[in-house]
Structure 1
Amino acid sequence: MSNERFSSVWDAIEDTPAEAENMKLRSALIMALKERITREGLSQSQAAKLFGVTQPRISDLLRGKINLFGLDTLVNMAVAAGLHVELRVMEAA
């Protein structure tokens, strides 16, 4: 058993640093969308209409099915939900 430490769970479970970064971004967007649904008290149908997707897609989102969502889709949903998305790029540690 290794005592290796990771800065993120994604760094530990993904095969490459690129895949880990992608998952971190998708995870952050999904959490923001879920928070928006909760804060506004939206039903899945209401959220689907607001985000411009189907109700089953909202169900997938709320159930955390991260592999079913690409970055483009999540950014589009966030913008439709009235959220502003920013990306910060830094040198790798």
Structure 2
Amino acid sequence: MTVKRKGEKILVEESSGNVFADLGLPNAEERLAKADLAIAIAREIESRGLTQAEAADLLGVAQPDISNLMRGRLSGYSIERLTRLLNALGRDVEIRIHPTRAGEQRGHLRVAGG
């Protein structure tokens, strides 16, 4: 356990807004997009009061798949699969393509909730 003594300074680093990029993980934007989509699915399941078994039946997947999704274990999920699950839950998923910001040469992948 670390104890902070009075007057001691703590080094803090501001986040980029993407924890996966902050950790130096590969495919950070894709990882964040998948996490955001999974959060939207989990919120929809919870807002409907569905059990994992009920959600699995509704979505045509196995209950352990729902358990993994709800726990953020997304290795078996592509962005396409996550969007199909959202569609099955009655949610529209919109993909918009637009020019990058001035000075940026590479585009970005983002998920915006609504």
Between the aligned partners of 1:8 and 1:81, the Cα distance in structure 2 is 27
Gaps of 5+ in 2: 1-10, 105-114
- Give the AA of the match of 2:42: K
Aligned position for 1:76: 84
Between the two proteins, the alignment pairs up a number of residues equal to 91
Gaps of 5+ in 1: none
Between the aligned partners of 1:86 and 1:4, the Cα distance in structure 2 is 30
Q: Which consecutive segments of 4 or more residues in structure 1 shift more than 2 A?
A: 1-5, 13-16, 87-90
The alignment-based identity, stated in percent, is 31
Relative to structure 1, is the Cα distance of residues 83 and 14 closer, same or farther in structure 2, using a 3 angstrom cutoff? farther
Aligned position for 1:39: 47
8 A Cα contact 1:52 1:80, kept in partner = no
Between the aligned partners of 1:5 and 1:44, the Cα distance in structure 2 is 33
Aligned position for 2:111: none
- Structure with the bigger percentage of helix: 1
8 A Cα contact 1:10 1:24, kept in partner = yes
Query: How far apart are 1:66 and its partner, in Å?
Result: 2.0
1:12-51 paired onto structure 2 within 5 Å: 12-16=22-26, 19-51=27-59
Aligned position for 2:18: 8
8 A Cα contact 1:37 1:47, kept in partner = yes
The higher radius of gyration belongs to: 2
Relative to structure 1, is the Cα distance of residues 14 and 79 closer, same or farther in structure 2, using a 3 angstrom cutoff? farther
TM-score (norm 1): 0.81
8 A Cα contact 1:52 1:77, kept in partner = no
Deviations 1:24-48 (A, max 9, x none): 2111110000001110000111101
Between the aligned partners of 1:73 and 1:87, the Cα distance in structure 2 is 14
